[in-house]
Structures are given as structure tokens and as C-alpha cells.
């Protein structure tokens, strides 16, 4: 089966659990097993949800090696530590990186610099020229302060077969549909936000890289699979069941909310690293109440 087919459905943006400031390896293993048995199609390690910006390069290597060991090749593994606004340094990082056990890399638009469309295009092209693995483009304007237009995404998709997918978190469904309409064969369009997954798939998209799948993998993957087989009544039923939780998990930032939910489930603690702070008791109570509603629906 091709990698593109294996990346169709639900990918989970794994959290990185901490205890007393250090990585909690026991909890990380528990989480990997939980989401795998919960039905996700692939793993994404060290994206934003994995707090890659507040973990060191040495920790990145340790986390990836540990995840590769626990995964045992069962699911495709995407590494998300390839964002940055210094293209030359990122090129060198990719050249010198050990990709054994990693199937693809996820790379976001350059943040802070706010490049134009040509700059974004040339940045990604430079990565593709040196990457030994396929690349998932990550468009997340709320974090990078620059939107990659549908035209730029399609230009990249048609320019180099290293680009196999886009994780679209612009929340612009018109932009999403333009990409779906103009994409080449085998180029995946994945949602970057849980709440827009159903409309994206209904428009012809392929799945999601999810936050909520850390805490409720089974009902969420069931929703995605129903949508992909165009069983919309079932997909809508499951989507509405989870709807309020999609937003509640983000009211104090990500992964603050999802870690609070996971603590309530006994999966890991809610510890995060500064500048993030653990969820307030009020936020925890809101999530607890919604989890109870989901369990009873």
C-alpha cells in the first residue's frame, strides 16, 4: 500500500507528556498504545501539540527514537520538527537528520518573517531538494501570520512529487475546495483543525491531523471513516457528539486543554512547559462536564 493511502484518515498529533518538567516515558508509551488501539491511521510526533518549540534538539531525538521503538512499524510516523524561518539552517538540519523509522516530515510555513507567496514557495522547494522523505506542507496562518494561498499550495504540489499532502488549518473552506479541485493525483488534503474535518472530507478531502484523537480516538476515527465512505448521517451524528469538545480543548491553548482531558482519563498529567501553563480548575471542570456528556450520548 502506498504511503498516501496509509495517510488517508486520522493522524494524531501526539502530545508529549511531562512529569516534574521531564518527559514522562511511561505515559508516552501509554498514549501511543491508546491511540493505536483507538483506530488512528498514522502518528505525528513533535508537532505543535507535542510542544516541539519547548523541547530541545536532544529531546526531539529521544522522543522520536522512543516513538519508533514503541510503534514497531505498525503505523506510519510523521516527524513535525521541521518548521523554521531560516531556510538555510533548516536545509542543513534535514541533510544531517537521521530519518530511519520516519515515513514523512511535516513542515509549517516560516513564522514571524511573514514571507510573500514566492518566498513561501522557494522555502518549501529548497526543503524538497534535500529531503530524503516525502513532505506534508502545513499551512497554519494563526501561528505563522502568513497564509499560503491555494495557488501556492497547488504550485508546490505540481512542482515536485516530494510534496504528498497539505495540512490545511486556514479554516477557509473555499481555499480548501480550490486545492481539492486543482490537486494532482495522490496529493492529500488533510484538515488541520478537528472541527472542520467533516466539511473538508465532504468537499473531497482525505482526513485530518487531529488533536482530539489523543483523548477520544475511537469516536473521532469512527466519524472520519464514516465521512470517507460518505455515510454522512453517521458522520454527522458522531461529529455533533464531539462538537463542543473541539472548541473546549482550545479555550486555554493547545495542548493545554487536551492534556487536561487526558489527565481526567488517566492517560497523562496536564503538565506543560512555559510559556504555556496548565489548565485552570475552571477549564478542567468544563472539560470534565463535556466528557461526561459525550460518554452518555
Q: Residue 166's beta-bridge partner residues?
A: 137, 189
pLDDT for 56 beyond 90: yes
Active site residues: 138, 167
CATH of domain 3-232: 3.20.20.70
Confidence of residue 297 (pLDDT cuts 50, 70, 90): confident
Contact (Cβ atoms closer than 8 angstroms) between residue 23 and residue 56:
no
Residue 165 per-residue DSSP state: E
pLDDT (average), residues 62-78: 98
Pick from 194, 180, 138: nearest CA to 12: 194
Across residues 266-287, what is the average pLDDT?
Answer: 98
For 59-63, the CB contacts below 8 A with 24+ separation are 59/23, 61/98, 62/23, 63/16, 63/23, 63/28
Instruction: Give the pLDDT band (50/70/90) at residue 184.
Output: very high
Question: What's the pTM value of the predicted model, to 2 decimals?
Answer: 0.96
Confidence of residue 98 (pLDDT cuts 50, 70, 90): very high
Amino acid at each position: 500500500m502506498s504511503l498516501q493511502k496509509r495517510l488517508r484518515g486520522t493522524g494524531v498529533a501526539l502530545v508529549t507528556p511531562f512529569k516534574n518538567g521531564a518527559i514522562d516515558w511511561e505515559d508516552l508509551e501509554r498514549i501511543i498504545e491508546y491511540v493505536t488501539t483507538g483506530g488512528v491511521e498514522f502518528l505525528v510526533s513533535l508537532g505543535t501539540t507535542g510542544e516541539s518549540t519547548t523541547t530541545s534538539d536532544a529531546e526531539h531525538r529521544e522522543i522520536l527514537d522512543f516513538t519508533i521503538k514503541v510503534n514497531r512499524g505498525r503505523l506510519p510516523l510523521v516527524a513535525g520538527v521541521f518548521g523554521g524561518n531560516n531556510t538555510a539552517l533548516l536545509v542543513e538540519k534535514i541533510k544531517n537528520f537521521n530519518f530511519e523509522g520516519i515515513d514523512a516530515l511535516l513542515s509549517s510555513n516560516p513564522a514571524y518573517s511573514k514571507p510573500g507567496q514566492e518566498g513561501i514557495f522557494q522555502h518549501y522547494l529548497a526543503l524538497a531538494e534535500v529531503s530524503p522523505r516525502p513532505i506534508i506542507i502545513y499551512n497554519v496562518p494563526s501561528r505563522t501570520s502568513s497564509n499560503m494561498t491555494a495557488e501556492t499550495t497547488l504550485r508546490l504540489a505540481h512542482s515536485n512529487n516530494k510534496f504528498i499532502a497539505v495540512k490545511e488549518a486556514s479554516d477557509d473552506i473555499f481555499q480548501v475546495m480550490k486545492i481539492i479541485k486543482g490537486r494532482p493525483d495522490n496529493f492529500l488534503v488533510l484538515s488541520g483543525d478537528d472541527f472542520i474535518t467533516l466539511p473538508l472530507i465532504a468537499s473531497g478531502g482525505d482526513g485530518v491531523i487531529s488533536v482530539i484523537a489523543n483523548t477520544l480516538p475511537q469516536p473521532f476515527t469512527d466519524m472520519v471513516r464514516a465521512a470517507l465512505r460518505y455515510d454522512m448521517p453517521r458522520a454527522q451524528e458522531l461529529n455533533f457528539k464531539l462538537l463542543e469538545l473541539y472548541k473546549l480543548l482550545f479555550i486555554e491553548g493547545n495542548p493545554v486543554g487536551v492534556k487536561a482531558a487526558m489527565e481526567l482519563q488517566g492517560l497523562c498529567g496536564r503538565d506543560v512547559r512555559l510559556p504555556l501553563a496548565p489548565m485552570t480548575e475552571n477549564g478542567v471542570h468544563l472539560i470534565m462536564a463535556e466528557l461526561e456528556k459525550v460518554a452518555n450520548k
